[in-house]
Structure 1
Amino acid sequence: MKETVFSGEPSRGVAVAVQGVKKTFPNGGERLEVLRDVSFSVSPGEVVAVTGESGSGKSTLLSLMAGLDLPDQGTIRVGPREVQTLDEEGLTRYRARTVGLVFQFHYLLKDFSVLENVMLPALMQQRSREEASLRATELLAQVGLQERLHHLPPQLSGGERQRAAAARALINDPEVVLADEPTGNLDDANSRRLEEVLFGLVSEYGKTLIIVTHDQNLARRTARSFHLEQGCLVSD
């Protein structure tokens, strides 16, 4: 029997390795160097944080790991894949199957129910509606939204929307979860609840979690943390 993408089995042999990464952006007639010679690695199943002041390049680094942008120099390896070498088709598959993204803003579609929002990435990967619905329902129950399946996003609190976004990030059973300021728009109570959801889900499913955050309380909960200073990454 063919293995399903929704197996929920812990990922094996997965690691993230960033080596000598440099990224610049146009700035008038010059180039602004945002990341310079950034190198670090994350072990399979590890939870790490990347901290830094606003504008330090944290989100840029996450975008590079997610394949949403490409480095000017250096390599980004996720499992056996070198992200910067993938063509557009390969990047699309990588973003759909290998990484799950949780953003500061939930980006739920307001005209779709919570269940439909979580199902959508699976349907885009040609999973059957029944299979996607069952998996989405299971994940939403795990984040405490079993009574909100058919609500629209505007009917949810900010914390509930972020928990739905966390469930959506895991619907395609990604190897790595990347979270960009996931608690940035939440109050303390909802921040802590979302933390429990994220840490609980990645632990249960054996995922690697990399969190970009300015929240030092959240960073302290991770196994390791790095700090961005002047475009360079240093251990906290």
Structure 2
Amino acid sequence: MEACQLTVGYRTKKARNSVASNINFALGQGELMAIVGVNGAGKSTLLRTLGKVQPQLSGEVFLNGKNLANYSPMALAAEISVVLTEPIASKNMTVEELVALGRQPYTNWVGTLNDDDKSKIKTAIWMLELEALQHKKCYELSDGQLQRAMIARALAQDTAVILLDEPTTHLDLYHKVQILKVLKSIAHETKKTVVFTSHEIEMAIQICDTMLLLDPTAHTFGPPCKLIEQRAFERLFPADTVSFDAKTGSFKIEK
């Protein structure tokens, strides 16, 4: 996946509201990338644009060398899966039924699952360690368990790219780490490109292959170690409020 001179935001009848512009990055197969930045930087807007949930204001996004604008909805559903923060349509489904929804782009008009579909659903449930929960209703799950089920649905969709908006929101530290380690495992073991937005900058530095830092002055892309060398994280917050320690890769409050 590649973004070239991309501007994201919203169109109204009277105006064009840009949230972030001049975004450039190129991702290879099997990479885990975090989109980070302060509130309002455009993280979720960018992710939705990459998934063609909303149109870009200008610039281009390419997938496998083909412009995203040239993909039909069905063709795109076979290439990109998206996990957004919106609640699921019905929590009365079982975990297995939720994960099976990932196979919709491939099933016939009555939604019949073939052996290949069932195999991919089973693999996704296994990778997210949901075997013991697969027959439970979604309303019976904790936030962390439901998030794993949503990721399993995206994995069952078997796309080259998985996009996730704030997958660790409302989770405790243990479950944040668990989800991020699962995403890294998916990227590296299945060779899928995984992109997620996050406020967990310190965790992303430790676990990601690459990061896209959305900053009002300049958007920076690259491996975490390179971004640290470029002092990119130090520009995120006012120096008299929060400072970044390049040696530990962590932020500290200035007293």
Q: Could you state the TM-score of these two structures normalised by the residue count of structure 1? A: 0.83
* Match in the other structure for 1:13: none
The residue aligned with 2:128 is 143
Partner in structure 2 of residue 6 of structure 1? none
Q: Following the alignment from structure 1 to structure 2, what is the Cα–Cα distance between the partners of residues 103 and 231? A: 27
- Amino acid paired to 2:174: A
* 1:156 corresponds to 2:138: no
Give runs of ≥4 in structure 1 deviating > 6 Å.
none
Map 1:78-117 onto structure 2 (within 5 A). 78-86=63-71, 90-94=72-76, 96-105=77-86, 107=88, 109-117=90-98
Q: Deviations over 1:7-28 (max 9, x none)?
A: xxxxxxxxx1100112342579
Which stretches in structure 2 are left out of the alignment for 5+ residues?
222-226, 228-255
Q: Which residue of 1 aligns with 2:237?
A: none
Rg larger for: 2
Q: Identify the residue that residue 8 of structure 1 maps to in structure 2.
A: none
CA separation in 2, counterparts of 1:161 and 1:80? 34
Distance in 2 between the 1:231 and 1:138 partners?
43
Distance 1:218 1:79 in 2: 29
Deviations 1:168-206 (A, max 9, x none): 101121001112111012111111111122111222211
Q: What is the RMSD of the two structures over their aligned residues, measured on CA atoms?
A: 2.1
Aligned to 1:166: 151
* Aligned mates of 2:114, 2:9 — CA distance in 1: 45
Measure the CA separation in 1 of the matches of 2:178 and 2:105.
29
The one of 129, 134, 139 equivalent to 2:113 is: 129
Contact 1:104 1:185 in 2 (8 A): no
Q: State the Cα distance separating 1:125 from its structure 2 match.
A: 2.1
Residue identity over aligned pairs, in percent, reads 24
How many residue pairs end up in the alignment?
A: 217
Residue number in structure 1 paired with 2:213: 227
Match of 1:4 in 2: none
Contact kept? 1:108, 1:117, Cα under 8 Å: no
**2: CA distance between counterparts of 1:204 and 1:120?**
23
Secondary structure of the 2:16 match is strand
- 1:137 and 1:149 in contact (8 A); partners too: no
CA gap 1:70/1:203 in 2 versus in 1, 3 angstroms: same
* Counterpart residue type for residue 163 of structure 2: L
- Stretches of structure 1 that go unaligned for 5 or more consecutive residues are 1-15
Q: Which of 21, 24, 31 is 1:46 aligned to?
A: 31
Name the residue aligned to 2:46: 61
- Give the structure 1 partner of residue 21 of structure 2: 36
